[in-house]
Amino acid sequence: AAPRPAHGCSSGALLGRFGVLLQALLALCAFSTLMLKRFKEPKAERRPWRIWFYDTSKQAIGALFIHFANVFLSDLTEEDPCSLYLINFILDATLGMLLIWLGVKVVSWIVQHKKYTYLVFGEYGDPPQAAAWIGQCILYLLIMVFEKTVISLVLLIPGWTKLQQILLGYIPNPQLELVLVMFVVPFIVNAIMFWVVDSLIMRKYKQKDTLDINGSTETPRARRTEESQVLLSPDIDFDQSESDQDISGLRGSNQKMKQPSYQVVI
């Protein structure tokens, strides 16, 4: 049997009963931040529950994939799996976040260039289509696979073992280390990541951009511009000039009536 490390949790502790309980509690608390984010949105721009579920479920699927990939990678060696999981998680929250942002930008540009409307993140059609949600989930999962592959290659660089030995070596209690690695640190970081990624992949314009007025389509900005042009147009001066002409005409007629008439008698 492999010797237990002097510090840190033993092999298989991440999938033990206590570890699974911490992971379930983490998933509940971290996902609740997305619900809090929905209620923090302005009422006029708040997403319906169905759209909110479509947006957040993509993150849930991606987060579950990353989590179980980290658990699997942490149990591959005989070293402390808790510290190795923490290293994976920190890389996912830093370099991985940059890779996710880059992946979303590249995929969004490609689907917009190819005019795949239902594959644009946050766009599901009217009414929302489940097929669009499935396609976007597949795209987001591919981005997460790309991110985890790059992070796994980064972990192959020599030097991570020494960091792993000193990262949590000062904590003598394996249960406390498991709580820190599987709940405290992931909850704080996941709350920030979920908030940022949800803002990244949700629909940017939640209100309708076009208005139907007598069968014609115009944007709110164009409507405001047209109203401002009406208010600033010289029609008011023109009307005023017309009224001035009318008044001057009345005055002229009055003056003609007041002028004395001369009759020449021969």
**Each residue's pLDDT tens digit, 227-240:** 445 444 544 444 55
User: Is the residue at 105 inside a domain?
Assistant: yes
Report pLDDT digits (tens) over 16-26.
Answer: 888 888 888 88
Q: What pLDDT score does 98 carry?
A: 93
User: Is the residue at 124 inside a domain?
Assistant: yes
- What percentage of the chain reaches a pLDDT higher than 70? 68
User: Is the residue at 245 inside a domain?
Assistant: no
pTM for the whole structure: 0.67
User: Is the residue at 69 inside a domain?
Assistant: yes
User: Is the residue at 81 inside a domain?
Assistant: yes
Residue of 15 and 219 predicted with greater confidence: 15
User: Is the residue at 169 inside a domain?
Assistant: yes
Average confidence score pLDDT of the chain:
75
Cα–Cα distance list, 21 to 17, 51, 191, 233 (Å): 6, 30, 19, 69
Residue 208 φ then ψ, to 5°: -65, 135
| Range(s) of the domain holding residue 143 | 13-214
Q: What pLDDT score does 6 carry?
A: 45
Task: Give the integer Cα–Cα distance in Å for 48 and 39.
Answer: 11
Number of domains in the chain: 1
User: Is the residue at 57 inside a domain?
Assistant: yes
User: Is the residue at 184 inside a domain?
Assistant: yes
Q: What pLDDT score does 191 carry?
A: 84
Provide the strand spans (E) within 61-215.
211-213
Q: What six digits make up the tokens of 203? A: 């629909």
Strands 216-218 and 211-213 turn out to be: antiparallel
